[in-house]
């Protein structure tokens, strides 16, 4: 009855469309679980008895270590930026997000290239100082190296979430702690860290999901994880059934992580007893503390963005004029695929979020959970689910054609349709969150005012909601666009024959030790990502200023 | 009879209990009624139910002799011809004053629409404000534009949700006087919600206490 009460307010069209979208998002995941009960592949026993434990171990070590280190690094930096003032702070408050513009697999080959025997560091030491150090000091291609790469390029997730959280905290909290005689480090560990635990855990769980999703770094470094194993059994051995089983195992790991996240975030939600909150005022740093803060922040920026970018520029310079036409070609493919897919995904998300808004909180929470599911599951797993689904569809088409003579000259597997569908499964959650937070900012009364003025749900949507959602749609578009530009595992598995994006080609060149060629493509990719990050952060800033004035 | 509410019962959440229970109200055409009560007494909810923004659990609402809710029927908000001025005014920020007012009368021809917008701006004493945007108006001006927008389609019923709560004391007297004048001028049946009995007296409204 309660359900009916809320549904009645919307229009059935929106609910039907939403139900369709949700079903499409769920099918690939359900497919995998159902297939678990099917026949095991021929390699499964071997994998289970000899390799599985290794996959588990490696994946867990990578995920937990990177998650933990990124949590400390991100939370510490967020605290410095939120609570202190020093020269360069303004730039760093968005500059420290920039490591996200460099996909970890590009960072991995850049660092490996720098540290290798023929790389600039060792060459420099050899030629100018006659230093010949043991290669073990420079060995980057191991678990420790991978953890470093993940931490330095993914910590901004924690940084962003914690910084946003801290900017909403009350100044009197800190001031009263100081008046009670606590020094800054006590305040950080006793007040700030426990208070922002939820934000830090949320950011860190994003890092862990990215690590589990990653294919490029571990493949390049030769570390076996679930993702590489799925690739190997599928492409190397052509054993889809075993790949499915591995995918289920990876999903189990994810569910354990999600459960842990919930546990760590805790049921406790702190809220203020008063609505009148004065935001944190930043303390000016002087002397050695200032230098220390600058040294730390710029240091992280240097290793997470500046150094790899300079190295890439240098390589690109060495190969100048190399493959300009090819680069442009891949850039165009990436651009069109990313842009087109982002528009499609955003359209779907707008439909789902609009329905969520008209529904009871139970339904809208459920919709939010389902859309974000794809982002928690590693790309390689989604790829398996999507491929199974498309193969089933093709079989149905074939059946209709041979059985009933209905002409459907349509094959979906290994087409761009399949790839874009997979992107949608993976990134729908990001789009949904953008649109949903846009709706929350707008509130309900405009919608209701329009209804009482005689406009139905759909007309209200086009005349009122859509124009007011524009900023949220813009930042949602940019977020999905860069995610798709950087995306590797889904694209590698599901792309049509001869279809290459900047990401896949850069990774291929790097894997073939054609670093100079990879450099051009990587730079274009980083340029687009940086531009998108700049647009998103500076658009928000302008808006914040407008509110303050 | 312009509005008739019988045995209206409603809960946002079954666990929290009914916020409106067996509520009855009759309003004659042209009458001004004030629902007065403390916060949480369900007075704003009655407005939302009347406007069609919430669906009652039981009971019946008739507007101008037609069933709006009850007897297994539910008329959507956009079909009730009930105008509502929201507490935060809800002027569409991306539309000019003129377009805000014209929003509910786009079935009229362009010339008629223009004339009607001009007449309404005259009514609320804001001639010449056509091209402004909501953020360029003061709080009092925003309220008058919201009123003009609500009156534009000629509603059967005007609902005012806490019309004086966002205003400082000085402005309040003037606004109450203006509002009273406009409502009497148009002769529209009005229900307003307030936590302050003084508002009801000032508007010469029939008081209905809610608890």
Q: Is residue A526 part of a domain?
A: no
**φ and ψ of B82, to 5 deg:** -115, 125
CB A454 to CB B52 under 8 A?
A: no
- Does A7 touch chain B if contact means CB atoms closer than 8 Å? no
List, in sequence order, the alpha helices (H) in A36-168: 44-46, 52-83, 89-95, 104-115, 120-129, 143-154, 156-166
Mean pLDDT of B74-87: 90
Contact B12, B35 (CB under 8 A): no
Q: What is the pLDDT of residue A264?
A: 76
Q: Where does the pLDDT of residue A549 fall: very low under 50, low under 70, confident under 90, or very high at 90 and above? A: very low
Which token pair is A290? 């200032």
User: To the nearest whole percent, how much of chain B has pLDDT over 90?
Assistant: 53
| CA gap A467, B71 in Å, rounded | 38
Question: Alpha-carbon distance A201 to A214, whole Å?
Answer: 20
pLDDT exceeds 50 at position A548: no
Quick one: pLDDT band at residue A423, thresholds 50, 70, 90?
Answer: very high
A322 — pLDDT class (breaks 50, 70, 90): low
Residue A344 pLDDT greater than 90, yes or no: yes
| Candidate from A451, A464, A467 with C-beta closest to B78 | A451
Has residue A84 got a pLDDT over 60? yes
Identify the CA nearest to A147 among candidates A224, A63, A82.
Answer: A63
In angstroms, rounded to a whole number, what is the distance separating the alpha carbons of residues A530 and A482? 9
In Å, how far is B196's CA from the nearest CA of chain A?
23
* Residue of A1, A443, A451 with shortest CB distance to B77: A451
Q: Please enumerate in sequence order all residues whose Cβ is within 8 A of that of A373, keeping only pairs 6 or more positions apart, or say none.
A: A25, A26, A29, A429
pLDDT at A381: 85
Interchain pair A451, B150: CB under 8 A? no
Q: Which range scores top for mean pLDDT: A78-92, A167-181, A358-372?
A: A78-92
| Same domain, yes or no: A184 and A301 | yes
Whether residue A507 contacts residue A516, with contact meaning beta carbons closer than 8 Å, is answered with no
CA separation for the pair A31, A383 (Å, rounded): 11
Measure B91 CA to nearest chain A CA, in Å: 7
Q: Which of A80, A214, A76 is nearest to A147 (CA)?
A: A214
Task: Give yes or no for residue B47 having a pLDDT over 80.
Answer: yes
Q: Which has the higher per-residue pLDDT, A32 or B154?
A: B154
Q: With the CA atoms of A104, A109, A111 and A115 taken in that order, what torsion angle do they form, in degrees rounded to the nearest 10?
A: 160
pLDDT higher at A31 or B96: B96
Using the Cβ of A442 and the Cβ atoms of chain B, whether some distance falls under 8 Å is answered with no
In a domain, A255, yes or no: no
The predicted-structure confidence for A504-544, as pLDDT tens digits, reads as follows 999 998 888 888 888 888 999 999 999 988 888 887 555 54
**Facing A446 at nearest CB: one of B80, B81, B92:** B92
The reply to whether A543 falls in a domain is no
B90 and A449 within 8 Å at the Cβ level: the answer is yes
Closest CA to A168 of A271, A98, A85: A271
As a whole number of angstroms, the distance between CA A358 and CA A458 comes to 12
CA dihedral B113, B80, B126, B137 (to 10 degrees): -110
Does the CA dihedral A375-A378-A384-A387 come out positive or negative? Answer: positive
Evaluate whether A79 touches A278 at the Cβ level (below 8 Å): no
Mean pLDDT of chain A: 84
Give the mean pLDDT of B128-147. Answer: 91
A269 confidence band (pLDDT: 50, 70, 90): low
Q: Alpha-carbon distance B188 to B81, whole Å?
A: 12
Residue A457 has a CB neighbour count (10 Å cut-off) of 21
**A49 with A152, same domain?**
yes
Tokens at residue B115, please? 């004339």
Band of pLDDT at residue B83, cut at 50, 70 and 90: very high
From the DSSP assignment, how many helices (H) and strands (E) are in chain B?
6, 10
Say if residue A156's pLDDT is above 90: yes
Q: Give B35's strand partners.
A: B193, B208
Which one has a higher pLDDT value, A122 or B177?
B177
Residues A173, A107 share a domain: yes
Please list the residues that pair with B33 across neighbouring strands: B191, B206
Residue A547 lies in a domain: no
Domain final residue, candidates A300, A319, A338: A319
Beta carbons of A454 and B53 less than 8 Å apart: no
pLDDT at B63 over 50: yes
pLDDT band at A5 (very low <50, low <70, confident <90, very high): low
- Which residues of chain B make contact with A468, given a CB cutoff of 8 A? 92-94
Best of B63, B78, B145 to disrupt the A interface (most A CBs within 10 Å) is: B78
Which among A319, A340, A365 is the end of a domain?
A319
With tokens 């099918």, the residue in question is A27
Tokens of A458: 């759909």
Give me the mean pLDDT over the A467-488 stretch: 91
Per-residue pLDDT band at B191 (split at 50, 70, 90): very high
CB A503 within 8 A of CB A486: yes
Q: Any idea which architecture B1-81+156-211 has in CATH? A: 3-Layer(aba) Sandwich (3.40)
Q: What is the enclosing helix (H) or strand (E) of B7? A: strand B3-10
Contact A468 B84 (CB under 8 A): no
Give chain B positions within 8 Å (CB) of A1.
57
Q: How confident is the model at residue A546 (pLDDT cuts 50, 70, 90)?
A: very low
Q: What is the mean pLDDT of residues A117-139?
A: 73
What residues have CB less than 8 Å from A61, skipping those under 6 apart?
A: A143, A147
B88 chain-A contacts, CB cut-off 8 A: 443, 445
Instruction: State the pLDDT at residue B117.
Output: 94
- Minimal Cα distance from A362: which residue of B? B13
For residue A184, the number of C-alpha atoms closer than 13 Å in the C-beta half-sphere is 9
CB neighbour list of residue B90: distance below 8 Å, 6 or more residues apart: A445, A446, A448, A449, B146
From chain A, pick out residues whose CB is under 8 angstroms from the CB of B76.
9, 451, 456
Residue A167: which of A284, A283, A278 has the closest Cα?
Answer: A278
Q: Is the pLDDT score of A75 beyond 70? A: yes
pLDDT of B48: 92
Instruction: Note the pLDDT of residue A262.
Output: 76
Cβ atoms within 10 Å, residue A155: 29
**The domain spanning residue A229 has which CATH number?**
1.10.3720.10
Chain A contacts in chain B segment 43-72 (CB below 8 A): 51-53, 55, 57
Give the percent of chain A with pLDDT over 90.
32
Give the model's confidence band at B173: pLDDT under 50 very low, under 70 low, under 90 confident, else very high. confident
Do residues A66 and A156 share a domain? yes
**Predicted ipTM?**
0.87
pLDDT band at A432 (very low <50, low <70, confident <90, very high): very high
Lowest pLDDT segment from A133-147, A293-307, B191-205 = A133-147
Asked whether residue A207 is assigned to any structural domain, the reply reads: yes
Instruction: Say if the Cβ atoms of A451 and B76 lie within 8 Å.
Output: yes
| Range name among A164-168, A344-348, B25-29 with the lowest pLDDT average | A164-168
Q: Label residue A466 by pLDDT band (50, 70, 90).
A: very high
A308 pLDDT more than 90: yes
CB pairs under 8 A between A and B: 66
Whether residues A343 and A206 fall in one domain: no
DSSP tag of A500: -
Residues of chain B contacting residue A454, judged by C-beta atoms under 8 Å apart: 78-79, 81, 104, 153
In this predicted structure, what is the pLDDT of residue A1? 41
Is the pLDDT assigned to residue A25 strictly greater than 60? Answer: yes
Chain B residues in contact with A449 by the CB 8 A cut-off are 84, 86, 90, 92
Same domain? A68 vs A175? yes
Query: Stretch B176-187: mean pLDDT, rounded?
Result: 88
Which member of B14, B82, B88 has the closest CB to residue A445?
Answer: B88
Could you tell me which of B179, B169, B174 has the C-alpha nearest to residue B34?
A: B179
Q: Which of A5, A452, A467 sits opposite B77 (nearest CB)?
A: A452
Q: Is residue A432 part of a domain?
A: yes
Residue written as token pair 């590693």 = A378
In a domain, A521, yes or no: no
Residues of A in contact with B79 (CB under 8 A): 454
User: Hey, are the CB atoms on B153 and A454 less than 8 Å from each other?
Assistant: yes
pLDDT, position A3: 47
Q: A177-196, pLDDT tens digit by residue?
A: 777 777 777 877 777 878 88
- CB of B133 within 8 Å of a chain A CB? The answer is no
Q: Which structure tokens are listed for B210?
A: 């809610």
Q: Quote the domain boundaries for residue A345.
A: 15-34+329-511
CA distances from B145 to A93, B71, B82, B83, B94 (A): 41, 36, 17, 13, 15
Report which DSSP code applies to B75.
Answer: -
Which pair of structure tokens corresponds to residue A147? Answer: 């953890």
Instruction: Classify the C-alpha dihedral B205-B206-B208-B209 as positive or negative.
Output: positive
Question: Which chain A positions have a beta carbon within 8 Å of B92's beta carbon?
Answer: 446, 449-450, 464, 468
Residue A547 confidence (pLDDT): 37
CA distance A469 to A297: 35
Q: Which residues of B touch A360 (CB under 8 A)?
A: none
Do A506 and A396 share a structural domain?
Answer: yes
| Chain A residue numbers touching B93 (CB-CB < 8 A) | 468
Q: Is B94 close to A445, i.e. CB distance below 8 A?
A: no
pLDDT reading at A545 higher than 50: no
> Rounded to whole angstroms, how far apart are CA atoms A467 and A198?
33
Q: How many domains does chain A contain in total? A: 2
- Whether residue A453 and residue B78 make contact (CB cut-off 8 A), yes or no, is yes
What is the C-alpha to C-alpha distance for residues B26 and B4, in angstroms, rounded to an integer?
A: 5
Pairing of strands B66-70, B58-63: antiparallel
pLDDT tens for residues A192-242?
878 888 888 888 988 998 998 899 999 999 999 988 888 888 878 878 788
Give B150's contacts in chain A (Cβ within 8 Å). 452-453
Query: B113 to chain A nearest CA, in Å?
Result: 15
Q: How big is the CA angle at A319 (ends A313 and A320), to the nearest 5 degrees? A: 80
Q: What is the pLDDT of residue B24?
A: 93
Using the Cβ of A456 and the Cβ atoms of chain B, whether some distance falls under 8 Å is answered with yes
Domain boundaries, chain B: 1-81+156-211, 91-154
| Weakest mean pLDDT among A9-13, A448-452, B120-124 | A9-13
User: Which 5-24 residues of chain B touch chain A by CB within 8 A?
Assistant: 14
Picking from A295, A319, A343, the residue at the C-terminal end of a domain is A319
Q: Which of A9, A455, A463 sits opposite B55 (nearest CB)?
A: A9
Q: Could you say which of A443, A451, A468 has the minimum Cβ distance to residue B94?
A: A468
- Say yes or no for a CB contact (<8 Å) between B78 and A9: no
For residue B178, what pLDDT is reported?
86
One domain, residues A308 and A367: no
- Where helices occur in A281-323 by DSSP H, the ranges are 287-301, 307-318
Sheet holding B190-194, edge to edge: B82-85, B157-161, B190-194, B32-36, B206-209
In a domain, A483, yes or no: yes
Name every chain A residue with its beta carbon within 8 A of the beta carbon of B14. 2
Rg (CA), chain B: 17
């Amino acid at each position: 009855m309660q359900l009916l009460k809320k549904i009645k307010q919307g229009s059935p069209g929106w609910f039907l469309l939403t139900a369709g979208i949700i079903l499409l998002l769920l099918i690939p995941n359900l497919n995998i679980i159902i297939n678990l009960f099917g026949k095991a592949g021929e390699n499964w026993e071997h994998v289970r008895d000899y390799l599985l434990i290794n996959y588990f171990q490696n994946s867990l070590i990578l995920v937990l270590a990177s998650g933990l280190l990124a949590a400390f690094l991100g939370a510490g930096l967020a605290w410095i930026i939120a609570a202190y003032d020093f020269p360069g702070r303004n730039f760093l408050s968005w500059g420290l997000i920039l490591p996200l513009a460099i996909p970890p697999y590009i960072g991995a080959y850049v660092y490996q290239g720098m540290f290798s025997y023929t790389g600039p560091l060792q060459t420099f030491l050899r030629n100018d100082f006659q230093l010949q150090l043991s290669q073990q000091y420079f060995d980057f291609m191991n678990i420790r190296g991978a953890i470093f790469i993940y931490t330095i390029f993914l910590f901004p997730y924690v940084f962003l979430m914690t910084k946003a959280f801290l900017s909403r905290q009350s100044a009197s909290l800190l001031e009263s702690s100081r008046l009670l005689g606590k020094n800054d480090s006590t305040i950080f560990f006793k007040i700030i860290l426990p208070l922002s635990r939820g934000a830090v855990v949320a950011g860190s769980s994003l890092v862990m999901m990215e690590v589990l999703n990653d294919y490029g770094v571990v493949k390049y470094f030769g570390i076996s994880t679930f993702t590489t194993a799925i690739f190997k059994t599928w492409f190397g051995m052509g054993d889809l059934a075993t790949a499915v089983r591995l995918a289920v195992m990876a999903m189990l790991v994810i569910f354990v992580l999600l459960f842990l996240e919930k546990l760590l975030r805790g049921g406790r939600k702190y809220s203020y007893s008063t609505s009148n909150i004065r935001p944190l005022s930043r303390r000016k740093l002087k002397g050695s503390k200032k230098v220390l803060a600058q040294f730390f922040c710029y240091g992280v920026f240097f290793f997470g963005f500046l150094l790899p970018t300079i190295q890439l520029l240098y390589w690109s310079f060495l190969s100048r004029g190399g493959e300009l036409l090819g680069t442009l070609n891949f850039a165009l493919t990436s651009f069109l695929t990313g842009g087109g897919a982002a528009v499609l995904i955003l359209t779907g998300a707008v439909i789902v979020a609009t329905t969520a808004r008209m529904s009871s909180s139970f339904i809208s929470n459920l919709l939010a959970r389902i859309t974000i599911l794809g982002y928690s599951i590693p790309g390689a797993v989604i790829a398996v689910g999507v491929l199974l689904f498309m193969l089933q569809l093709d079989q149905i088409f074939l059946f209709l054609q041979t059985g009933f003579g209905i002409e459907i000259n349509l094959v979906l597997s290994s087409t761009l349709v399949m790839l874009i569908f997979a992107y949608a499964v993976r990134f729908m959650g990001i789009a949904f969150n953008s649109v949903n937070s846009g709706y929350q900012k707008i509130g309900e009364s405009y919608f209701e005012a329009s209804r009482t003025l005689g406009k139905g749900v759909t007309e209200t949507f086009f005349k009122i909601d859509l124009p007011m959602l524009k900023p949220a749609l813009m930042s949602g578009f940019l977020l999905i666009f860069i995610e798709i530009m950087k995306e590797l595992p889904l694209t590698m598995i599901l792309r049509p024959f001869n279809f290459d994006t900047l990401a896949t080609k850069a990774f291929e060149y790097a894997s073939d030790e054609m670093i100079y060629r990879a450099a051009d493509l990587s730079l274009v990719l980083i340029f687009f990502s940086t531009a998108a990050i700049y647009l998103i952060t500076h658009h928000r800033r302008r808006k914040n200023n407008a509110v303050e004035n | 009879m312009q509005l008739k509410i019988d045995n209206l019962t409603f809960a946002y959440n079954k666990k929290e209990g009914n916020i409106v229970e067996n509520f009855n109200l009759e309003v004659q055409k042209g009458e001004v009624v004030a629902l007065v009560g403390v916060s949480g007494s369900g007075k704003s909810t009655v407005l939302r139910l009347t406007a069609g923004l919430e669906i009652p659990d039981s009971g019946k609402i008739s507007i101008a002799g037609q069933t709006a809710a009850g007897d297994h029927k539910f008329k959507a908000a956009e079909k009730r011809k009930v105008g509502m001025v929201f507490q935060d005014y809800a002027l569409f920020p991306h539309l000019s004053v003129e377009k805000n007012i014209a929003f509910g009368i786009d079935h009229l021809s362009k010339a008629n629409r223009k004339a009607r917008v001009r007449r309404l701006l005259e009514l609320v004493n804001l001639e010449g404000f056509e091209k402004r945007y909501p953020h360029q108006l003061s709080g009092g001006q925003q309220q008058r534009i919201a009123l003009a927008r609500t009156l534009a389609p000629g509603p059967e019923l005007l609902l005012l949700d806490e019309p004086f709560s966002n205003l400082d004391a000085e402005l309040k007297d003037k606004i109450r006087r203006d509002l009273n004048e406009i409502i009497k001028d148009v002769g529209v049946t009005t229900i307003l919600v307030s936590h302050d009995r003084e508002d009801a007296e000032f508007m010469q409204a029939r008081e209905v206490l809610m608890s």
